[in-house]
């Protein structure tokens, strides 16, 4: 159960969600028949060690709902109050997402990242409103609204993916919408600026893209960067977040430029890795492995990552001073804690 009441979700978010939230991808046993508790606990401890204030339990992999809820419960058990555990509301349809969010609440999650299923084809703003409100009404957890190009709304509904008049209705009607992950119209920065201007006094506005967060946080208040593959940078994103909060923009800017080789390399690799309007979780898992996270095999179907991409990501990390693992690439597919 959350530590706050449903009508307190926004106050809780304003007070608690200050920092950087990473992503934790489930780890499995070598035969891929079960989740790997030892590896999941390792990744949870490392997220705490790296300074993250929360982590998203990624559901967009081949995992059953029962396994996923056990995965969240393991992270919560390992972290206690040291991390905010996020539920990834990315399941097959509305009914399963309602079942999942209720299970996540019981498992100890405190925040929901709301996604939309690939087979959800809204033809009006009202369709998006109805789906979103149904999920929000099904839980007492705080919800993070997520305008994003991945849902395919921009061609039919609005270029910003979820237009601000619709966001206004949802904020008014769903008191547990407490955060907006403002990536509407990606890669434009207009969404985060517009959401901050219109809704920033009511809900927390998150800028998850590190290449935009670091510069924007120097000219506007941003208390949260969530959720993204920040684990690629090891402890660096929590460190730079603290510099920005302290107003040490010179030091934050120096880090921004130090990170730039890796940022450019990842941009060049994006067309190879993230096709089909779907995030390559295998690639994200490899990025985390470079910084000490478990890695390990994922079940089929999964996207792939090949030697040229792995070597390019590792070289980019070296060029940015991130001290990545130099273990043989074959070790990634085994994982640091094989069971």
pLDDT on residue 283:
97
Question: Rounded distance, CA 281 to CA 292, Å?
Answer: 16
Instruction: Check residue 35 and give left, alpha or beta (phi > 0: left; psi -120 to 50: alpha).
Output: beta
pLDDT on residue 61:
97
pLDDT on residue 277:
82
- State the pLDDT confidence band at 64, using cuts at 50, 70 and 90: very high
pLDDT on residue 274:
86
- State the pLDDT confidence band at 155, using cuts at 50, 70 and 90: confident
Query: pTM of the entire structure?
Result: 0.96
257-308 residue pLDDT tens? 999 999 999 999 988 988 878 899 999 999 999 999 999 999 999 999 999 9
pLDDT on residue 35:
98
Domains of the chain: 6-247 (3.20.20.70)
71-118 residue pLDDT tens? 999 999 999 999 999 999 999 999 999 999 999 999 999 999 999 999
Average pLDDT, rounded, for the chain: 97
């Amino acid at each position: 159960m959350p530590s706050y009441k449903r009508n307190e979700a926004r106050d809780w978010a304003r007070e608690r969600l200050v920092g950087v939230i990473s992503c934790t991808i489930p780890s499995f046993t070598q035969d891929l028949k079960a989740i790997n508790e030892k590896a999941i606990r390792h990744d949870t401890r490392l997220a705490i060690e790296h300074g993250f204030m929360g982590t998203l339990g990624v559901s967009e992999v081949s995992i059953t709902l029962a396994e996923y809820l056990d995965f969240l419960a393991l992270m919560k058990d390992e972290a206690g109050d040291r991390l905010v555990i996020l539920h990834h509301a990315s399941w097959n349809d509305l009914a399963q997402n309602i079942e999942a969010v209720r299970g996540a609440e019981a498992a100890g999650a405190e925040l929901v990242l709301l996604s939309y299923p690939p087979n959800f084809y809204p033809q009006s703003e009202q369709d998006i409103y109805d789906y979103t409100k149904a999920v929000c009404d099904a839980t007492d957890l705080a919800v993070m609204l997520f305008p994003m190009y991945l849902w395919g709304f921009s061609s039919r509904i609005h270029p910003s993916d979820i237009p601000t008049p619709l966001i206004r209705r949802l904020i008014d009607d769903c008191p547990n919408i407490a955060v907006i992950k403002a990536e509407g119209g990606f890669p434009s920065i207009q969404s985060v600026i517009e959401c901050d201007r219109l809704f920033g006094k009511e809900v927390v506005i998150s800028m998850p893209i590190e290449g935009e967060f670091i510069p924007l946080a120097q000219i506007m208040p941003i208390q949260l960067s969530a959720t993204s593959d920040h684990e690629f940078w090891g402890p660096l994103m929590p460190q730079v977040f603290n510099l920005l909060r302290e107003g040490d923009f010179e030091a934050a800017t120096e880090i921004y430029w130090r990170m730039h080789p890796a940022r450019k390399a990842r941009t060049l690799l994006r067309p190879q890795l993230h096709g089909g309007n779907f995030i390559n979780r295998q690639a994200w898992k490899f990025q985390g492995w470079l910084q000490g996270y478990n890695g390990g095999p994922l079940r089929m179907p999964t996207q792939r990552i090949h030697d040229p991409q792995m070597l390019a990501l590792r070289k980019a990390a070296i060029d940015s001073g991130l001290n990545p693992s130099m273990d043989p690439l074959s070790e990634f597919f085994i994982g640091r804690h094989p069971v």
